[in-house]
């Protein structure tokens, strides 16, 4: 039994490539080449060199002493917040920009919600001197001005997505439309483990460096490679996919996925896709998604822009329905409280996305000698205004 993608990109019943014919050649080119290119020694060498010297990997696995004391268990934080650009997103963009170069592409497009993936993409395009266009919902552009400025400083063109609800899902639609209109010279860097095959698998593989490092670091600190639990927040699910990757097929490691409940799962303002979603097609992938009875995709809500996606990667849909993963939903309020808690106990200001993962310890109890690794996917600088407004700082 494996929880990894099969060769057609399916995780159980989820995944695949539900794409119009216009996208078929692009996705097929990628599908036929991605594993071969990733296996090339020269690719691996350049990828790992950049992760080390440019991104700052390996990121620390930090034993959170005071947090562990408070919750009476052993909590380690995987410090993805210390990556260049402030989050795990850059692991994937480094991998994909190298992939794009190998495929001979001269132009990069990306979608972004809050702007983290857009910044990570603009960063690697600057690094490689490749033209970069980032699609961002008109509403997100207005509420994420600092990240828009960062992308511009890095030389990217930020194009507003003006259709539909003018947020992340619409930015993704616009990026896909751009790819349809530019099928030959352009590579689309998707920011999460979503989209048509091979994206979910490819992005998970680039992010899998997270769990690869957890294994060796834990061996050093605890004398064993496998934690009892790995905890990560899930929007589309890329940081979670990376944190789980090398533990997926090991039943001794518990997998905990934390979704955004927003103002409450059944409040009508939530992004808890596993609970509220039904099987359907979004952005070329068969997965769980929030939709009307008629199959129209609905707009999710979370205080955290990075968790504000109406679908979830097909890997996570499979982890949920198969029971391999334990899914927990955390409200805005509980996430914000947990975020502030980490600041005061450990001196680390987390991204609000990551704060959702930290919030589970209030209700989900662990044994005293359990080793629980929480993937701290990003830092909170980008969320300062939200923290200021919420806590009236």
Partner 1 sequence: MNRIKQKLQEDNPPAGRAGKLLSIYFTAGYPRLNDTVKIIQDLEQSGVDFIEVGLPFSDPLADGPTIQESSTAALKNGMHTELLFEQLKDIRKTVSIPLILMGYFNPVLQYGVEEFCQKCQEIGIDGLILPDLPLDVYQEEYKSTFEKYGLINIFLITPQTSEERIKAIDAASEGFIYMVSSASTTGSKEGFGAEQTEYFNRIANMNLNNPQIVGFGISNAQTFQQATEKTKGAIIGSAFIKHLTQNGVDHISDFVNQIR
Please select the residue that binds partner 1; options are 103, 275, 281, 349, rule is CB under 8 A. Answer: 281
Q: Which of 219, 278, 365, 367 binds partner 1 (CB under 8 A)?
A: 278
The interface mask with partner 1, positions 360-379, x = CB under 8 A, is --------------------
For the chain, the farthest-separated pair of C-alpha atoms sits apart, in whole angstroms, at 56
Chosen residue from 101, 143, 159, 177 binding partner 1 by CB under 8 A? 177
Rounded to whole angstroms, how far apart are CA atoms 153 and 119?
10
Question: What letters, b where the CB count within 10 A reaches 16 and e where it falls short, cover 127-155?
Answer: eeebebbbbbbebbbeebeebbebbeebe
Q: Does 21 bind partner 1 (CB under 8 A)?
A: yes
Could you tell me the two tokens for 351?
């991204």
Q: What number of other Cβ atoms are within 10 A of residue 381's Cβ?
A: 11
Q: Is 106 in the site for partner 1 (CB under 8 A)?
A: no
Q: Which of 53, 129, 293, 369 binds partner 1 (CB under 8 A)?
A: 293
> Binder to partner 1 among 122, 176, 243, 272 (CB under 8 A)?
176
- Nearest Cα residue to 201 out of 77, 30, 390: 30
Among positions 6, 22, 381, 388, the unique one binding partner 1 when judged by CB under 8 A: 22
The angle, 0 to 180 degrees and rounded to 10, between the axes of the packed helices 199-207 and 89-102 is: 120
Closest-CA residue to 214 (of 204, 203, 200, 224) = 224
43 binds partner 1 (CB under 8 A): no
Which among 102, 105, 111, 169 is annotated as catalytic? 111
Is the CB of 16 or the CB of 325 nearer to partner 1?
16
Sequence-distant (6+) residues with CB within 8 A of 369 are 73, 74
Is 5 a residue that touches partner 1 (CB under 8 A)? no
- Should residue 284 be labelled a site residue for partner 1 when binding is judged by CB under 8 A? yes
d(CA 122, CA 305): 19
Shortest Cβ 179–partner 1 spacing (Å): 10
Query: Closer CB to partner 1, residue 24 or residue 54?
Result: 24
Q: Which of 74, 89, 286, 382 is catalytic?
A: 89
> Does 173 contact partner 1 by CB under 8 A?
yes
Can residue 163 be called a binding residue for partner 1 (CB under 8 A)? yes
Q: Does residue 163 have an active-site annotation?
A: no
**For residues 206 and 198, what is the distance between their CA atoms, to the nearest angstrom?**
12
Q: Which stretch binds partner 1 (CB under 8 A): 15-23, 150-158, 202-210, 351-359?
A: 15-23
Asked if residue 107 binds partner 1 (CB under 8 A), the reply is: no
Residue 41: CB atoms within 10 Å: 7
* C-beta of 111 vs 332, nearer to partner 1: 111
| Smallest distance, partner 1 to C-beta of residue 169, A | 7
Residue 290: name the closest of 319, 260, 327, 258 by CA. Answer: 260
- Torsion-angle region of residue 187: left (phi > 0), alpha (psi -120 to 50) or beta? beta
Q: Does 160 bind partner 1 (CB under 8 A)?
A: no
Tell me which of 35, 149, 279, 384 binds partner 1, using CB under 8 A: 279
Whether 89 sits among the annotated catalytic residues: the reply is yes
Q: Pick from 38, 103, 127, 180 the residue near partner 1 by CB under 8 A.
A: 180
Distance of CA 221 to the CA centre of its chain: 27
Is the separation of the CB atoms in 244 and 232 below 8 Å?
A: yes
Point out the residues that are catalytic.
89, 111, 377
User: Which residues of this chain interact with partner 1, rule CB under 8 A?
Assistant: 16-22, 24-25, 163-164, 169-170, 173, 176-177, 180-184, 278-284, 291, 293-298
């Amino acid at each position: 039994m494996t929880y990894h993608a099969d060769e057609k990109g399916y995780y159980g019943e989820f995944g695949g490539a539900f794409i119009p014919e216009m996208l078929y050649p692009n996705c097929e080119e990628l599908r036929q080449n991605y594993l071969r290119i990733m296996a090339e020694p020269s690719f691996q060498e350049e990828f790992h060199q950049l992760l080390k010297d440019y991104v700052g990997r390996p990121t620390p696995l930090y034993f959170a002493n005071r947090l562990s004391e408070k919750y009476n268990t052993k909590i380690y934080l995987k410090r993805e917040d210390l990556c260049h650009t402030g989050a795990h997103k850059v692991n994937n963009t480094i991998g994909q920009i190298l992939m794009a170069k190998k495929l001979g592409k001269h132009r990069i497009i990306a979608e972004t919600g809050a702007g983290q993936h857009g910044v990570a993409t603009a960063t690697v395009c600057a690094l490689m001197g490749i033209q970069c266009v980032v699609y961002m919902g008109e509403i997100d552009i207005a509420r994420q001005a600092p990240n828009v400025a960062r992308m511009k400083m890095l030389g990217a063109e930020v194009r507003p997505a003006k259709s539909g609800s003018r947020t992340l899902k619409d930015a993704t639609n616009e990026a896909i439309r751009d790819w349809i209109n530019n099928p030959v010279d352009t590579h689309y860097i998707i920011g999460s483990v979503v989209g048509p095959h091979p994206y979910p698998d490819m992005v998970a593989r680039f992010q899998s460096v997270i769990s690869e490092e957890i294994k060796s670091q834990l061996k050093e600190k605890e004398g064993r490679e496998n934690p009892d639990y790995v905890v990560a927040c899930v929007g589309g699910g890329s940081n979670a996919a990376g944190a789980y990757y090398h533990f997926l097929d090991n039943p001794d490691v518990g997998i905990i996925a934390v979704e955004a409940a927003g103002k409450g799962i059944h409040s009508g303002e939530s992004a808890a896709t596993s609970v509220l979603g039904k099987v359907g097609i979004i952005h070329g992938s068969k997965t769980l998604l929030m939709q009307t009875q008629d199959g129209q995709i609905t707009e999710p809500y979370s205080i955290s822009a990075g968790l504000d996606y109406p679908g979830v990667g097909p890997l996570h849909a499979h982890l949920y329905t198969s029971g391999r993963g334990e899914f927990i939903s955390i409200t805005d309020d509980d996430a914000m409280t947990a975020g502030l808690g980490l600041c005061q106990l450990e001196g680390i200001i987390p991204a609000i996305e990551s704060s959702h993962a930290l919030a589970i310890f209030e209700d989900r109890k662990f044994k005293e000698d359990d080793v629980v690794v929480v993937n701290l996917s990003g830092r909170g600088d980008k969320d300062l205004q939200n923290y200021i407004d919420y806590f009236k700082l």
